[in-house]
Amino acid sequence: MDRFEELPRVMPSQDSTFTRRAQFLRTVVAAWLGALVCVGGGLLWPRTVWADAAAEHAVEAVSFDRDVMAVLSKAGCNAGTCHGNLNGKGGFFLSLRGQDPVADWEELVTSADGRRLNRIEPARSLILLKATAEVPHGGGRRFGRDDPEWAVLERWIREAATGPQDAAPQVARLVIDPPDAVVEGETAQVPLKVTAEFTDGATADVTRMAVYEPSDPLIEVSREGVVAFDRPSLTTVTVRYLRGQAVARAAVVPPRSDATSSWNGPPPANLIDEAVFARLRQVGVEPAPPAEDAVFLRRVFLDLLGVLPTAEEAKAFVADTAPDKRQRLIDQVLARPEWAEVWAGIWSDLLRVEEKTLDAKGVEVFHAWMRQSFAEGKPLDVFVREIVAARGSTYDVPPANFWRAHREPIIRGETVAQVFLGARIGCAKCHNHPFDHWLQDEYHDWSAVFTGIDYEIVKNERKDDLDKHEFVGEQIVQLKDFQERINPRTGGPATPRLLGEAGYPEGDRLEALAAWMTSPDNRRFARSQVNRIWFHCMGRGLVEPVDDLRDTNPASHPQLLEDLTDLFIASGHDVRGLVRLICTSQTYGLSSRHPDPGPLAANEQLYARAVVRRRSAERILDAQVAVLGANAQFEGYGEGTRAGEVAGVERVRRKTADGDQFLRLFGKPERLLACECERSNEPTLSQALTLVGGPGLHARLGSQSNRLAQLLAADRSAEEIVEELFWTALVRPPTAEEKAAAVVAFETAPTPREAAEDLAWALVNAKELLFRN
């Protein structure tokens, strides 16, 4: 009866003799009961159940590392919403997604007085009764008695619940077959087969025990790995098995007629179109027709410059008949100063350019430096190197404000990784990254890189003594020796180490960091910046979210992202050049309307049509101001300042003018996070009230020196005024119906002025203007 020696190893949870004695008694009783059960065991055990289901495992003993850990993931036990939560659930704690087998084994076997397992009668083990919902379980029924999950756990318990082995082979790679399925049909079932390759050279079919997570939330993947489409759609499926992760793509496309080859897309203008059209051809969708001239012009101006073209510019462009006018337009636009202003704004959002920490002067010099950098065409790697390696006075060395804004090693490490390398490593602060390969140790070693950046606070005239985030006055950013940082996992000091690398190079620390980061060998940098530039041109990243690049979050067009990355590196990190390439593609210039009403043509990640997005706060306000010819006010800025020119968030503390309020209300970020996600272009009720009846708009409409006043003073006909306002606001002439409706308004309104105001109101509130399309 050697099984008795395997009886629960009771961990003394309390020291009292009484408890230990009670446990001893319990053990003895259990042993005797166990003996009784064992006598009749052959009859009572439902052996056949597991024997069939787990036949393939029957030869070897159940491995905790491989089999049990896989079940804990497969059944969802160790999910972050369940027992994998930091707080566990119902007193049962597992490591998130199984990253700590030793802790999980102890939790299963010894915690809770060992009562989770019943060695005598494994099928009566609490973990099995809970998982099958035979006793009430907050997480419901996870599997049944005839499932292989049950068989694995039951057999593991019966085989003495052995623990993790140090030498257990790890998953080296997961291979999914098919990796990129395209199936025709209105509905379809696409079975995936998952093979794990282990570090000891063994392979195993793990299809049944892998975990499947589709990117399209409406698509279901069965336990057996069958992707079920109830309509044509595209999805990626992330597959996890133990510590291995891989991604497959699957698409179901409507059945095509025999004329599959009659794909009628336009000829590609460049490699972007080749890649986008190839994917469209693969899924049987044609691109939308090119956008009308006016729509294209409006898109180019607002996307790239943040402002509307004037009516004259618009008319001239539409009247131009040269075939290359769109390319020429892009070139002209990229040479304008507003282009650099837009990019300075993008980077100001990312680098936390706000007055509370940088003070007004810091904001001003940092923003001006960025604008100048983009205007002069500074290569992006140089731009980033100058930021990362900066030190000195935050007034004299503008990019040193980056370090002034980021005052903690952890925050510095996270920001640098996210903004410059497209890696969201934050999850790895508390545990190994669940969706990426970053380990907790790597996170803390990387944080240690950012110790020793210190500040000489020359002056601080902060207004709020309690607010430690506020600084007013010059600071000198200084580089000191690495400071000790504790890795909370090991309790020992973290070793400064570049992210994902073995060590830290010699030489000036920040220079070395900057050089490593922007080196052509570090494709992460270039790739993440290409994705960001694409995002700001196209309205959607090749990878979404734009700063979350990882193996398990693949690009919509993976090869295109790599090709553009090569080009970007080869061009010397030329931002303007990449923007030109993107915006002169056919893809950029497509209409947002697609004749095909189907879900694939609408799927944004195919780029079969232009992406529709609400315009940013700055663009909406600047358009309103430009159309009405009456300024908005920004506290601390001169009359006539545009929203796009505003460098920071709040130049005069706790004091805002109508323009500042508008920007906040429409989602301009406070710039407290180094993330594009902090900017919200989501509509709200308060925005609607501001657009419909807000005091700022009211004042601009009613101004006696605005565009309406000028048009009316010029003694022009109602039709002319209508035409002019349409060109000014929507960059196009009114349609006949629109013109008729507007002219009627002029005829019926008490005064022409009122009619003009009403029409202008309608135009600045038109979704055509508020939304990129």
Q: How many CB atoms lie within 10 A of CB 399?
A: 24
632 in Cβ contact with 587 (< 8 Å): no
**Separation between Cα atoms, residue 537 and residue 332, nearest integer Å:** 16
Q: Which stretch binds other proteins (CB under 8 A): 270-278, 369-377, 460-468, 561-569?
A: 460-468
Q: What is the DSSP letter of 392?
A: E
- Between 67 and 676, name the residue whose CB sits nearer to other proteins: 676
Confirm or reject binding of residue 135 to other proteins (CB under 8 A): no
Question: Binding string, 629-668, against other proteins, x = CB under 8 A?
Answer: -------------------------x----------x-x-
Least CB distance from residue 233 to other proteins, whole Å?
12
Beta bridge mates, 234: 251
Q: Which of 3, 281, 593, 753 binds other proteins (CB under 8 A)?
A: 593
**Separation between Cα atoms, residue 508 and residue 529, nearest integer Å:** 25
**Separation between Cα atoms, residue 520 and residue 151, nearest integer Å:** 51
- Between 83 and 299, name the residue whose CB sits nearer to other proteins: 83
- Between 390 and 663, name the residue whose CB sits nearer to other proteins: 663
Residues 599-618 that bind other proteins (CB under 8 A): 602-604, 609, 612-614
Least CB distance from residue 766 to other proteins, whole Å?
5
Q: Which of 43, 59, 466, 502 binds other proteins (CB under 8 A)?
A: 466
- Between 472 and 513, name the residue whose CB sits nearer to other proteins: 472
Question: Binding string, 467-506, against other proteins, x = CB under 8 A?
Answer: x-xx------------------------------------
Q: How many Cα neighbours within 13 Å face the side chain of 711?
A: 26
Least CB distance from residue 660 to other proteins, whole Å?
16
Confirm or reject binding of residue 142 to other proteins (CB under 8 A): yes
- Between 386 and 676, name the residue whose CB sits nearer to other proteins: 676
Helix (H) or strand (E) holding 455: strand 453-457
- Between 565 and 706, name the residue whose CB sits nearer to other proteins: 706
Q: What is the 3-state secondary structure (H, E, C) of 507-576?
A: CCHHHHHHHHHHCCCCHHHHHHHHHHHHHHHHCCCCCCCCCCCECCECCCCHHHHHHHHHHHHHCCCCHH
Distance set, CA 574 to CA 283, 379, 564, 578, 706 (Å):
33, 5, 12, 6, 41
Token digits of residue 730: 């929507």
Residues 685-744 that bind other proteins (CB under 8 A): 685-694, 734, 737-738, 741-742
Pairing, β 244-253 against β 180-184: parallel
Token digits of residue 126: 């609490």
Least CB distance from residue 47 to other proteins, whole Å?
29
Is 30 strand, coil or helix? helix
User: Which runs of E-coded beta strand occur in 132-224?
Assistant: 171-177, 180-184, 188-191, 193-198, 203-205, 211-214, 220-221
Residues 531-550 that bind other proteins (CB under 8 A): 545, 548
136 in Cβ contact with 117 (< 8 Å): no
Residues 746-765 that bind other proteins (CB under 8 A): 754, 758-759, 761-763, 765
- Between 110 and 207, name the residue whose CB sits nearer to other proteins: 207
- Between 708 and 770, name the residue whose CB sits nearer to other proteins: 770
755 in Cβ contact with 718 (< 8 Å): yes
Q: What is the DSSP letter of 113?
A: G
Residues 292-321 that bind other proteins (CB under 8 A): none
- Between 476 and 674, name the residue whose CB sits nearer to other proteins: 674
How many residues of this chain interact with other proteins, rule: CB under 8 A? 88
Q: Which stretch binds other proteins (CB under 8 A): 210-218, 374-382, 392-400, 625-633?
A: 210-218
Least CB distance from residue 463 to other proteins, whole Å?
9
Q: Which stretch binds other proteins (CB under 8 A): 24-32, 392-400, 595-603, 708-716?
A: 595-603
Least CB distance from residue 689 to other proteins, whole Å?
5
Q: Which stretch binds other proteins (CB under 8 A): 69-77, 195-203, 277-285, 503-511?
A: 69-77
Q: Which of 30, 69, 211, 649 binds other proteins (CB under 8 A)?
A: 211
Least CB distance from residue 459 to other proteins, whole Å?
20
Q: Which of 10, 126, 427, 709 binds other proteins (CB under 8 A)?
A: 427
Question: Binding string, 668-687, against other proteins, x = CB under 8 A?
Answer: --x-xx-x-xx-xxxxxxxx
Helices (H), 389-489: 401-405, 409-415, 421, 440-449
Is 196 strand, coil or helix? strand
Least CB distance from residue 220 to other proteins, whole Å?
8
| Sequence-distant (≥ 6) Cβ neighbours of residue 658 within 8 angstroms | 632, 633, 695, 696, 699
Least CB distance from residue 217 to other proteins, whole Å?
4
Least CB distance from residue 212 to other proteins, whole Å?
8
Least CB distance from residue 658 to other proteins, whole Å?
13
Instruction: Find how far residue 45's CA is from the centre of its chain.
Output: 50
For 66-80, b/e burial (b = at least 16 CB within 10 A) is bbbbbbbbbbbbbbe
- Between 211 and 389, name the residue whose CB sits nearer to other proteins: 211
- Between 153 and 390, name the residue whose CB sits nearer to other proteins: 153
Residues 85-114 that bind other proteins (CB under 8 A): 85, 87
Q: In what order do the strands lie in the sheet with 226-229?
A: 188-191, 226-229, 220-221
Least CB distance from residue 508 to other proteins, whole Å?
32
Residues 231-270 that bind other proteins (CB under 8 A): 238
Least CB distance from residue 731 to other proteins, whole Å?
13
Token digits of residue 101: 């087998």
User: Which runs of E-coded beta strand occur in 556-715?
Assistant: 613-614
Least CB distance from residue 674 to other proteins, whole Å?
11
Pairing, β 171-177 against β 203-205: unpaired
- Between 258 and 737, name the residue whose CB sits nearer to other proteins: 737
Least CB distance from residue 131 to other proteins, whole Å?
10
Confirm or reject binding of residue 133 to other proteins (CB under 8 A): yes
| Sequence-distant (≥ 6) Cβ neighbours of residue 310 within 8 angstroms | 728
Q: What is the DSSP letter of 290?
A: B
Of how many residues is the chain composed? 773
**Separation between Cα atoms, residue 20 and residue 61, nearest integer Å:** 33
Least CB distance from residue 593 to other proteins, whole Å?
6
